[in-house]
Structure 1
Amino acid sequence: MTKNWIPPTPLEKMANTEYDVLIIGTGAGGGAATWRLCEQWGKNEKKVGVVESGDFLLPTQAANIPTMNSERMNKLHEYISKPLGKFNPEFQGAKQVFAFGGRTLFWNAITPRLNQFELAQWPVMVQEMDSYYRIAERVMNVSREYTKDSQITEILLNRLQRKGLTEAAPSPIAAELGLGIYGQEGSDVFFGAIDFFTKALNHRRFDLTVKTRAVQVLVDHGKVVGVKVISSDKKTYILKAKTVVLSASTFETPRLLLHSGIQGQAIGHYLMNHSFVLATGTISRDKFPDPLGTLSMLIPSTKERHYQIQLRGPNRYFWYQPYQTKSFHQELDIHFLCSGEVEPRFENKITLDSYRTDEFGVPEIQIHFSFSEKDKAIIREIAGAIEQISSICGINMTSKTGQHSICLMPPGDQNHDSGTCRMGNDPSTSVVNRYGQIHGVKGLYVADNSVFPSIGSANLTLTTVALAIRTADYIIHQDQESVFT
C-alpha cells in the first residue's frame, strides 16, 4: 500500500488510458496547469495525467519543514541537484532538480510581476497578463504583508524613498499568513508547486506517475498523439493523449523536443538567465529599535534601470526569519541579491550532445552561453548601485579584510533560466505561439520558463504560473470549441 498522499498510478493503467491532457513535469508550470484544468473541469469525465521524472522528495516547500535550517537546506539542495557545469563551463552555476515539485521545493518565494514596459514587447496583451497575474497571486497567496511592522524594513525603506528610490517596497512573498490546522491546506506558510496538486485534488482526481522519464513526443500528421516514457526499471510505455503540455524546464523541454524530431529553427535558442550579483554589508544594531523584525525589500527595475535589487537577511535561503529580538551583536548582516537583465540572443542556446547520453538513451545537452556587451554594462551598473544604496542606508560594505564583498556569481547560478522555447508570432524566431502551442503541431504546448521571450530583471515564477494558467484556459476553450464543430 502506498504511503504517498497522492497515490501514483501504475504505468500499465496509464498506458491503457487516452488522456485529454497529459502534463510532463511538476514544477511551477506543470503544477499551475494541472490545478487550473482540474479546477475548471471539476467532476466531468475528462482525463488528466501527470508525468514526473523524479521521485517524491519532500512533502512541502523545504522552508516549511520545522527541522530545516539554511545549512541543512543547502546540503540537501546540493545533494539532490544535478549540476550542469561539469560539461558546460559556459553555464557553470546551473543545476537541475528532478523531484515532485521541482525547483519550487527550494525557491525563496519572492514573487514580483514583470514590469509593464517589459510585457508590452510580448505577444500577449498587458491587460490580459494583469488578469492572469491576479489569478496567480490569489492562488499563491502573494502579498507584501510578510514584513508588515518590521522596524528594520520600514526604516531602510524610508531612507531609500527619501533619496528618490520611490519604487523600493516590501518584497511580494508567496506566503499564507492565516492560521492553518493540523496539516490542512493553508497550514504551510511558503508556497510551492506541491500546493497546486493539493488544490487540484480538491476538485478532481488525476493520474500521476513518478520516476518516469518522457523520452519522445509522438506526432502524427501534425497532431500530437502521445508521449513515449520509460520507467525506472527501464520498461517502455506509450501514453496516449489528445493534448500534451511540456513543463519539464528550460533545459529538458527543448531537449525532449529536439530528441523527438520536432522542427523549429528557434528550439533551444535564446537561452537567458539573469546575471547574479551577491554582496554583503553590515549596519550598526544601535540604529534600530526593538523588535527588529524581518528584512526583505525589493528595488525593481525601471526603463532606465535594467536590474533588480533585493535586500534581505540573515542568510541565503532563510531570508524570511526575523532578526533576534535582543541581539548580542553590534552589527547586523545585510545581504544584496541583484538580478541583471540579459538580452535574448540566438547564439545562446541548448543543443544535443552527440557523444553523451543518459541512462535512458537520450542525448545530454550542451549549453552555449556568454554575456553580451550590454549585459556586462548592466553588471557594472549593479556594482555602482550597491555602493549608492549602501551609502543611503548606512550599510558598511567593507569587510574585515578591507575588501568589498561584491561577487558576480557564475552564469546559471540563479535558477532563472528561460527562453529556449520562446513565445512569438514568427515561427522562424519563436517556438510557441502566444498561447504556448508549438508552431505547426496541434495539441502540443509548453508551460514553463522556456516560453519567455524576454526576462527583464524580476524573479520569474509568478509569470511562469500566470502563463501556465492562461495556457490551460486556452486548452479548455479549444476543447469546448471542438465539441461544437
Structure 2
Amino acid sequence: MQRGEVMALKIWVARNNDTLRIIADQKCISIDDLIKLNPSIEHPDQNIAGRLVNLPFFTESDMRQVAIPPTCHIPTDYIENWIPLTSLETMADTEYDVLIVGTGAGGGTMLWRLCEQWRNNGKRIGIIERGNIVMPTHGRNLPMMNRTRLEQYYRYISKPLQGSYPEFIGAREVICLGGRTVFWDVVASRLNLPLLPDWPISVYEMDTFYNIAERVMNVTDEYVRGSTLTEILLDRLQQGGFPESIYMPIAADIHPTKFGEVHGDVFFSSFSLLAKASFLRPFDLAINARAVQVLFEQGKAAGVKVMSPDMSSYILKAKTIVLSTSTYETPRLLLHSGIRGEAVGHYLTNQVYMLAPGKVNRSDFTDIPGNLGILIFGTPDRPYQIRLVGPNGYDWYPSSQEKPFLEELDILLQCFGRITPRYENRVVLNTDRIDAYGVPEIEVHFEFSEEERSEIQKMVESVKRISSVADMTLGEICLVPTGDLHHTSGTCRMGDDPSTSVTDLYGQVHGISGLYVADNSVLPFIGSGNPTLTTVALAIRTADHIVTQA
C-alpha cells in the first residue's frame, strides 16, 4: 500500500474454531496484513470464535486495477412461433419415413408414440394440419374461458359440414391444430367391448393399450371424488337400481406440481401429445396444409399431394402415410385418391344424443357442493350410456367468477344411445360440388332404424327413473340434432374382410402397403361410449405396428 493511500475495511465475525491464520487462508489475505489490522488479537493461531475481525477490502489502487467480468453471451437464436413449424417448401425436399395427416386425437397420438419409439434413430417424421392455430391448448385450460364462452368460441371456429343437410343437419367440422380435442368434453371412458358384437381385437390386448392411453392422457376418476353433489347422487343411484354408476373418468392432470415441473395442460388435448413429442426428438410440422390426394405406386404408399392457401401445390414423399383427418375427411381423401374399396365411406355411425335438464335441492348438499360427474354404463338390458354433469353443464373451470347462492342446482343428464353400423349409412363424394382445392365435397346419407327409434323411448323411461331415484326435478327432454354429437365413426372401419372393412386390424388400408388410418373412422362399433380413449389406444397400437415394420 502506498503512503497516504486509503484502505477500505470490512468486518468479519469469526466462526467456531476460527483463527487469524484460518481466516487468512480462506480469504486469500496475507497473514501479516491481517495481524497488523487486528493488534488486539494476541496470536495468529488463537481461537477467536465470535470476535470481530478487521479484513482488508480494497485499496484505491486495487479498485482501479480490479478486472471487469466479460459480458454474458446472450443467445440470438429464435423460433417464429411457440410451436416449431416447417414450411411446405422444406417438407417437399424431404422423404419421410412416416407422414401423418391430421393433428387431432389420432394424429397427435401417432406422432407422440413414434417419437417415443424412435427417439434415438434417424427416422424422419412429418405431420401436417389442414387448419391454422386457434388455441395453444384445450379451451378449458385457458383462465378466461368458462363453459358459455367455450361453447360460443366453438360455434365460431367450427363450420357446418358441407353435404350434411338434411339427414345429418347438426354435423360440424373443427379444422385447426389439435382438431376436436381443443373442444372435446374430456370424458375418457373405455368402450363396453362385451356389448359390441364382433369387436375385432381381444379384450386382453385392448386392456394393454387402454392402460397406456389412460396413462398418457392422465385419466382419473378422482376429479369429482369428495364433492357432495357427486357423492350423494352417486349413492342414491347405486342404491336405487343403477349399480353400474361410477365416478366419471376425466382426462385431467390433477397431480400437484413437484420439483418445479409445469402442469399447464390440466385437461387433455392433442397439444399434450405434441408437447411430449417435441421434447423427445425432432419432427416437421406444417399448418394450413390441405392434403388433396394420397399417392401410391404398385400398391404401396408413396406420398401426399398437399396445397397451401395460396393454391401452391407440393408433393410430400413418404414411405408410410397415416391418415388422421376425421370420420368425414379420411374417406373423402381415400375416395378422391381412387381408393374405392367396397366399405370406404360406408357404415357411418354415431349415437342418439338426448338431453334431460333437471334441478336438485341445494339444501341437500354442503355449503360447497362441488362439481357433478357420474357415468352410468350401458348394460345388456339398458344398452345406452347416461352421464350426470353439473352444476350448470360442464362448468369444470377453476374460475374466479362469482357464483351466486341458488336454492336449486341445475344438473344435466346426457344420454347416448347406440346406433348399429349399417352399409346404407354412408359418406359419398358429390362430384357436382367441388371445393376451392379441387376436391369434391361429401354428401351424408343417414337415418335411424326402427329399433333405434324405439330405443329412444326406453331412454326416456330410464331418465325418468333416474330423476326419481336422484330426487331430481326433471325439465323438458330433447333430442340433439343428428350429427351434432362428435362421436361419428365407422367410415374406414377395421376388420379382416375387405368387403366389409377398409383397414386390417392394425389400421392398414386393405390392398395398399404403408397406408394407415388412425382416427375415429376405424372404429367398427362404439355402442354408447365415448370414442376418444379408444381412438388413442388404437393409434398407439398402430404406431407400435409401424415401428415393427420399419
Normalised by the length of structure 1, the TM-score is 0.94
Q: CA RMSD in A?
A: 1.9
Asked if 1:413 corresponds to 2:484, the answer is yes
Question: C-alpha separation between the residues in 1 aligned to 2:162 and 2:456?
Answer: 21
Whether the aligned pair in 2 keeps the contact of 1:296 and 1:320 (CA below 8 Å) is no
Asked if 1:476 corresponds to 2:544, the answer is no
Code of the aligned partner of 1:445: Y
Partner secondary structure for residue 242 of structure 1: strand
Asked if 1:428 corresponds to 2:502, the answer is no
Asked if 1:168 corresponds to 2:255, the answer is no
Question: C-alpha separation between the residues in 2 aligned to 1:329 and 1:435?
Answer: 52
Q: Which residue in 1 is equivalent to 2:141?
A: 64
Q: Which residue in 2 is equivalent to 1:353?
A: 430
Asked if 1:394 corresponds to 2:465, the answer is no
Map 1:86-485; keep pairs closer than 5 Å. Answer: 88-118=165-195, 121-180=198-257, 185-319=262-396, 328-398=405-475, 405-479=476-550
Q: Which residue in 2 is equivalent to 1:78?
A: 155
Question: C-alpha separation between the residues in 2 aligned to 1:297 and 1:342?
Answer: 23
Whether the aligned pair in 2 keeps the contact of 1:119 and 1:126 (CA below 8 Å) is no
Q: Which residue in 2 is equivalent to 1:40?
A: 117
Code of the aligned partner of 2:522: V
Code of the aligned partner of 2:549: Q
**1:185, distance to aligned residue in structure 2 (A):** 4.9
Which runs of 5 or more structure 2 residues have no equivalent in the other structure?
Answer: 1-77
Question: C-alpha separation between the residues in 1 aligned to 2:395 and 2:224?
Answer: 14
**1:317, distance to aligned residue in structure 2 (A):** 4.3
Code of the aligned partner of 2:508: Q
Partner secondary structure for residue 91 of structure 1: coil
Whether the aligned pair in 1 keeps the contact of 2:99 and 2:322 (CA below 8 Å) is yes
Percent identical among aligned pairs is 54
Question: C-alpha separation between the residues in 2 aligned to 1:461 and 1:256?
Answer: 22
Which stretch of structure 1 is more off in the superposition, 243-252 or 161-170?
A: 161-170
Question: C-alpha separation between the residues in 2 aligned to 1:190 and 1:183?
Answer: 19
Q: Which residue in 2 is equivalent to 1:402?
A: none
Which runs of 5 or more structure 1 residues have no equivalent in the other structure?
Answer: 399-404, 480-485
- C-alpha change, 1:227 and 1:85, in structure 2 (3 Å) is closer
Code of the aligned partner of 2:482: P
Q: Which residue in 2 is equivalent to 1:401?
A: none
Question: C-alpha separation between the residues in 2 aligned to 1:104 and 1:137?
Answer: 15
**1:116, distance to aligned residue in structure 2 (A):** 3.0
Which stretch of structure 1 is more off in the superposition, 314-323 or 47-56?
A: 314-323
Whether the aligned pair in 2 keeps the contact of 1:85 and 1:93 (CA below 8 Å) is no
Q: Deviations over 1:250-303 (max 9, x none)?
A: 000000000000130000000011110011011111111222111010001112
Which stretch of structure 1 is more off in the superposition, 440-449 or 185-194?
A: 185-194
Normalised by the length of structure 2, the TM-score is 0.83
Question: C-alpha separation between the residues in 1 aligned to 2:101 and 2:453?
Answer: 35
Code of the aligned partner of 1:439: H
Question: C-alpha separation between the residues in 1 aligned to 2:434 and 2:497?
Answer: 32
Q: Deviations over 1:18-48 (max 9, x none)?
A: 1000000000000001000000111210000
**1:328, distance to aligned residue in structure 2 (A):** 2.3
- Which of structures 1 and 2 has the bigger CA Rg? 2
Whether the aligned pair in 2 keeps the contact of 1:291 and 1:325 (CA below 8 Å) is no
